[in-house]
Structure 1
């Protein structure tokens, strides 16, 4: 019995494995609403407006006495959340692998994030410090929870089915995002008829994402099951020491590390586009909140089909080639975004359509491809490194975006600066021999990869 058979056998009979897969999909259904409604649509423009209301006459706020341009406050908060997550994720991943108890840690991370998101209801007036703190906690929590969630994938799906399972998970997430955004759009555009101010409507939308996240997390917690640890439980190093230990271990798998480096770079660009697109649309293009919600809704709807469609392309051409094609599309889309005319929502919708068609597939196939490169028994530990740049948790991209805006005062310059992530990521991924990387990780090689 080879390693791949052992991994699938650990999931139990086929019926039980399918039950776990369906439960696994529902964590994407639960937490993707945060990524969509909170991070992509509402919190960026709203927190920026709150920071501007608290700014001095020169347009600066002063958290901890540090002068920060109000327009840069949101991306800086995203970057800070990732620095915190980098400390926590490897520790949580190593603990999960050593103890075999992923579910309790997943529950802790998920409900910490859901609680912080629900607390955004109280963000109003000039409470930019409260908003930043809640954003940092929620962002760091979803990063940690995704480490544990992704680590289940090699245990519940065999090598030949991981592209399909991963793509369906992303499709579930985008479907949930679209559903909740429709409700958000109705609430926001008709806030007067509901007796709410525009600010109150935004805060209700933010808090409802936290409630949704917490409620649907119950499904995967009921259906997924923990496996015995591959190694005896031992005390794990803390924070940066655990990250260093994980990276030292990866040095023995240089091709896995090479793929991870490529992924961290190009996904940093993807996540920054996602998290900063609404700020770009509102501040640079002068588009209203309703237009931004509609554009993101279009992204969600098309991303469902895009994720499933690119999953089929991967079965025909391999995941690596399909991802490389998506990076070319990302580069062209971002370049087009630089030239979008202000006050022209139609062109913003065209841009959103392009993003939606490649967004889900590029993320889903990256996750499934990486799962083939993880040594058995180290799923959560390796996915902790993977997750550093996933789900809007990138730090270098928002930092570059914020610094470019701070130095130039132009969101167009900030958005075009992100092209470097896609070009560099393409170049690095193209050099990775993925079939040899799978063998070196000790896993069976699928027919197409």
Structure 2
């Protein structure tokens, strides 16, 4: 599978899997950069970033941080009708003071996450230019990994009176995770493009097509080979994405299982929750080391700098301008635009379902932290099943294209809020009993695991070459930007009704809206549009570079 590419007889460096002779690709933007074939070690290093960071998203953000913030909010809450009277553990209709206003304790956690994803969107946009241009993608991944890990470790000091500190550190950690995810995801199309199987297929296609610009020469054979190459790229992208999700959930399972034992042995105390979050931070830092050692920098094209120009300002300005132009250019990429619209809705609803379900289980079903940690374990186990099952076997068995597979996953996810809505009609089912949470956790795990794998790999196919970080920044902005809306609306509904069950109506409608959008995406057309767009952007950037150099000379 990992056959080496023949070495140039004139090369002076010894041949090894980590130092292969660059092979010119069809994109001149990459011909002078690091185009060595992807090695096993590099793939392991890339998988390690998910293994390191995913426990923070799944265990900390998914379970422990909502519990911590909700509990800290309740410990600092007062009566809604009399703010001078502190609430006890049995009181209802309590509110917590936040920045001059009062909100429901459950809403305190939701508003914190809304703020974090807003700042996360600003951050990933601002850093996307440095991640795409120059040798910064890996450096940013490692820097934000360290910042996120440290913020999780410092949450051990978030005692009862320091609920503002807990909110600030949660925001820093979530922002860092978003930045790490963007940089890590941006490596996926690069690794696929330089994968040995893809490169071997590229070389075979070129050897049989000596006149690539002449469409009349070998018209059928050339198209067949191009289709096979695109299909192989899609397969490898889906497989690697599925492995990444599976590695992440496996890590989260290990952390979560250990956390359950510890939290249960301490009677679900707040200190035990903070200690588990600290352990998540240590894990993040520890397993980022293989990523630092094994993943190549894979630099992007050089960004032109004028003499004396501030690099930070130049990169941030470039990032925002590029995102603006990219957002405008999405109109030329019909399927990318449709995908991002669907992802905006899907990401918002799926993320909000998790936070809402955990808070619902704690406030309405009165489940302990240890029991909710078990819920998290069930989600992770079935998340691995969903990631591997949908990415590796789903398309083979069901024979569905990626867009229709996503639509199927969305339909499965919609069953969760639909089941919660049944609680308004009957007391026998519809989330009135703790056991129902465990069942729905399995359904959610399968759907979100498949969603994480298939959605990321599908978008990687639609990304124009040379624009990985920029488009994945737009992907993250769409993801995190939408995630501001869901928790905010959920918090507003909870504040007004003091019944979090009403939010299931909102989530169900959102998911139904996403199904027809994904169903009507044409992935093959999107791949062709991405290649054409990549060539056009490359030519425009080369012209702009020449103009800048001429102005500097003058």
Give the TM-score taking structure 1 as reference length: 0.91
User: CA–CA distance in 1 between the matches of 2:35 and 2:386?
Assistant: 29
User: CA–CA distance in 2 between the matches of 1:275 and 1:46?
Assistant: 12
User: CA–CA distance in 2 between the matches of 1:157 and 1:321?
Assistant: 23
Task: Judge which range, 286-295 or 31-40, deviates more.
Answer: 286-295
Distance 1:344 1:154, change over 3 A: same
Who is 1:12 aligned against? 36
Contact 2:104 2:494 in 1 (8 A): no
Alignment map for 1:112-151 (pairs within 5 Å): 112-151=147-186
Q: Work out which structure has the larger RCO, using CA pairs closer than 8 Å and 6 or more positions apart in sequence.
A: 1
Secondary structure of 2:483 counterpart: coil
Distance 1:28 1:118, change over 3 A: same
* Residue in structure 1 matching 2:278, options 200, 207, 221: 207
User: CA–CA distance in 1 between the matches of 2:481 and 2:432?
Assistant: 26
Contact 1:120 1:134 in 2 (8 A): yes
Secondary structure of 2:99 counterpart: helix
Who is 1:447 aligned against? none
* Residue in structure 2 matching 1:167, options 242, 245, 249: 242
1:233, distance to aligned residue in structure 2 (A): 4.3
Report whether the alignment pairs 1:329 with 2:412: yes
Who is 1:309 aligned against? 389
Give the TM-score taking structure 2 as reference length: 0.74
Contact 2:407 2:516 in 1 (8 A): no
Contact 1:120 1:207 in 2 (8 A): yes
1:68, distance to aligned residue in structure 2 (A): 2.3
Who is 2:295 aligned against? 224
Which 4+ runs in 1 deviate beyond 6 A? none
What is the CA deviation profile of residues 374-393 of structure 1, one whole-angstrom value per residue up to 9, with x for unaligned ones? 11111011101111355898
Who is 1:236 aligned against? 315
Task: Judge which range, 60-69 or 239-248, deviates more.
Answer: 239-248
Who is 1:359 aligned against? 448
Task: Judge which range, 310-319 or 226-235, deviates more.
Answer: 226-235
User: CA–CA distance in 1 between the matches of 2:328 and 2:496?
Assistant: 37
* Residue in structure 1 matching 2:368, options 283, 288, 298: 288
* Residue in structure 1 matching 2:489, options 391, 400, 404: 400
User: CA–CA distance in 2 between the matches of 1:11 and 1:270?
Assistant: 37
Alignment map for 1:47-126 (pairs within 5 Å): 47-58=69-80, 59-126=94-161
1:397, distance to aligned residue in structure 2 (A): 1.1
1:31, distance to aligned residue in structure 2 (A): 0.8
Contact 2:151 2:281 in 1 (8 A): yes
User: CA–CA distance in 2 between the matches of 1:248 and 1:104?
Assistant: 29
Task: Judge which range, 320-329 or 412-421, deviates more.
Answer: 412-421
Report whether the alignment pairs 1:45 with 2:67: yes
Secondary structure of 2:78 counterpart: coil
Secondary structure of 2:477 counterpart: helix
Who is 1:418 aligned against? 507
Secondary structure of 2:133 counterpart: helix
Q: Which ranges in structure 1 are unaligned for 5 or more consecutive residues?
A: 445-449
Contact 2:344 2:482 in 1 (8 A): no
What is the CA deviation profile of residues 96-116 of structure 1, one whole-angstrom value per residue up to 9, with x for unaligned ones? 111142111111111111111
Q: How many aligned positions are there?
A: 437
Secondary structure of 1:317 counterpart: coil
1:254, distance to aligned residue in structure 2 (A): 3.3
Root-mean-square deviation (CA), in Å? 2.4
Task: Judge which range, 180-189 or 81-90, deviates more.
Answer: 81-90
Task: Judge which range, 113-122 or 334-343, deviates more.
Answer: 334-343
User: CA–CA distance in 2 between the matches of 1:242 and 1:441?
Assistant: 16
Report whether the alignment pairs 1:320 with 2:403: yes
Report whether the alignment pairs 1:181 with 2:256: yes
What is the CA deviation profile of residues 277-309 of structure 1, one whole-angstrom value per residue up to 9, with x for unaligned ones? 211111122222222111110111111121111
1:345, distance to aligned residue in structure 2 (A): 2.3
User: CA–CA distance in 2 between the matches of 1:241 and 1:275?
Assistant: 34
User: CA–CA distance in 2 between the matches of 1:442 and 1:169?
Assistant: 25
User: CA–CA distance in 2 between the matches of 1:323 and 1:342?
Assistant: 26
What is the CA deviation profile of residues 151-173 of structure 1, one whole-angstrom value per residue up to 9, with x for unaligned ones? 00001124130000000000001
User: CA–CA distance in 1 between the matches of 2:76 and 2:322?
Assistant: 39
User: CA–CA distance in 2 between the matches of 1:55 and 1:431?
Assistant: 48
1:246, distance to aligned residue in structure 2 (A): 3.5
